[in-house]
Amino acid sequence: SRVSAAGAEPGSRPTAVAAVLPAGGCGERMGVRTPKQFCRVLERPLISYTLQALERVCWIKDIVVAVTGENMEAMRNIIQRYGHKRISLAEAGATRHRSIFSGLKALAEDQPDCKLTKPEVVIIHDAVRPFVEEDVLLRVVMAAKEHGAAGAIRPLVSTVISPAADGCLDHALDRAKHRASEMPQAFLFDVIYEAYQQCSDYDLEFGTECLQLALKYCHTKAKLVEGPPELWKVTYKQDLYAAESLIKEKISQEICVVVKTKDEESVGHLLKEVLKNELNCATITSTALDHSGGDIQNFLTDQCCSFIWVTVLSSDFQETRKFLTALEESSLPLLYPVVVVLVHCLDFTLVPPAQKMESLMWIRGLAKEVKKRNVLLSGLLINYSQDEQKLQESLQQGASIIAALVKERSPALAGQLLVA
């Protein structure tokens, strides 16, 4: 088993790995009627973020999602709309364990109409833990290869207590001697499938912990792997808020600056540099478009669904509309709402901002139109001053405004003409 442990070295990739996501839960705890995995964060169902996180990991070959019959169609729509790949659907059972078992069956070779290949290792993850990273997935998979089973754990935040029958404290547990069992978990497929086949109806109804099933029915002691706090389970309303903020933080760092003509490249470049600092950008794609939008596809190859468009062009209505249409009609996996900021550069001493705004009032109408399709269009005037300091100030303020639009993604502020 030293050999497989060595597989965890940097650069190595495990083979024959699949994932099962039980997504049959009904979200009672959220205090809303929508099951929490289907709650929308920035208009997009939470589960879609989780699928995206798993898809980014190229060595996960298949992802089986177990959903209830009534959500099957909605799930198919999500897969299509957000361009998810490598997903198979299985029918969820009445409990979490039954849903996982259903997902495992879809992966088992002994099933008749099975199109999937039985994996060596299977990851079990929750649909409501969208912030899982490749690193922790790799660590649990490698530990499962070595130990047969492995699961992410976290320190306890609260002390755990045991109540007596009268609703009073019986005893408190020693916090240092216990951990919270989180997801992802991973298993040798044969181990966990055997455990599910062996286990009792009582286990399938009332059990919660897969690691415990592997222990009870296969005598496999799971390796516990410390995970990061971002693995937490989105359970309550405040967790949805937290998820939204984390997603906003992430996507606001991926910006595409489109510069229309060569002569404006310099201010576009300056703006890009200021934006990089302002948004702590990981990805900032820059391109010069000579005609309006036709080649959007060509320069956007990032698989990730987060695009923010900052165009530096003194475009007219028709041109801008063509550009937006090209964007919407592209097969890019856009993350809606898409924010588009049309940046116009002019010397405020030569053209007063209010005058320019008058000539840009068409943005209001166009914004109203595209807002229906979840594209948030705004205009921004930057003072392209001869005075170096004034230019820098305006660029800095412009970048702050763009950052706010991009982070908040507030539909109410679409259609406005802003001045930096």
Rounded CA-CA distance 229/250 in Å is 16
The CB-of-400 to a copy of itself minimum distance in angstroms stands at 4
| Token pair of 364 as six digits | 């209001």
Partner whose footprint covers residue 365, from Mg ion, a copy of itself, none (CB < 5 to 8 Å by kind): none
Considering the complex, state which of residue 277 and residue 355 has its C-beta at the smaller distance from a copy of itself. 355
Residues in 2-61 at the binding interface with a copy of itself, rule: CB under 8 A: 29
Partner whose footprint covers residue 285, from a copy of itself, Mg ion, none (CB < 5 to 8 Å by kind): none
Residues of span 39-68 touching Mg ion by CB under 5 A: none
| Eight-class DSSP state of 305 | S
Q: In the set 349, 352, 373, 387, which binds a copy of itself (CB under 8 A)? A: 352
97: closest CA among 118, 72, 124, 70?
A: 124
What residues contact 129, with CB distance under 8 A and at least 6 apart?
50, 182, 183, 184, 231, 232, 233, 234
124-to-54, 210, 213, 355, 396 alpha-carbon distances in Å: 11, 9, 13, 59, 46
State the number of binding residues for Mg ion (CB under 5 A).
3
Question: What would the x/- binding string for Mg ion be over residues 201 to 240, using CB under 5 A?
Answer: -------xx-------------------------------
For the bound state, the minimum distance from the C-beta of residue 102 to a copy of itself, rounded and expressed in Å, comes to: 21
| Dmax (CA) of the chain | 81
Judged by CB under 5 A, the stretch of 33-41, 153-161, 217-225, 389-397 that binds Mg ion is: 153-161
Nearer to a copy of itself, 58 or 157 (CB): 157
Please classify residue 306 by burial: count the beta carbons closer than 10 Å to its beta carbon, then call 0-12 exposed, 13-18 middle and 19+ buried. Answer: buried
Which of a copy of itself, Mg ion, none sits in contact with 32, Cβ below 5 to 8 A by type?
none
Please state at what angle helix 210-218 crosses helix 189-198, rounded to 10 degrees: 80
Q: How far is 275 from 254, CA to CA, in rounded Å? A: 11
β-strand pairing of 149-155 with 60-67? unpaired
Check residue 415 and report its DSSP letter: T
Contact of 127 with 66, CB cutoff 8 Å: no
Please select the residue that binds a copy of itself; options are 200, 208, 266, 303, rule is CB under 8 A: 208
Size of the site for a copy of itself (CB under 8 A): 76
Among positions 111, 159, 266, 303, the unique one binding Mg ion when judged by CB under 5 A: 159
Choose the binding region for Mg ion from 11-19, 20-28, 155-163, 191-199 (rule: CB under 5 A): 155-163
Distance CA 223, CA 402 (A): 46
Residue number with CB closer to Mg ion (74 or 180): 180
Q: Restricting to residues 223-252, name those near a copy of itself by CB under 8 A.
A: 223-224, 229-230, 232-233, 235-239, 241-246
Which residue's CB is nearer to a copy of itself, number 71 or number 220? 220
**According to CB under 8 A, which one of 119, 130, 151, 227 is a site residue for a copy of itself?**
151
User: Contacts with a copy of itself in 152-191 (CB under 8 A)?
Assistant: 153-154, 156-164, 167-169, 171-173, 175-182
Please state, in angstroms and rounded to a whole number, the distance separating the CA atoms of residues 382 and 359: 15
Q: Least distance to Mg ion from the beta carbon of 11, Å?
A: 31
- Which residues of this protein are in contact with Mg ion, per CB under 5 A? 159, 208-209
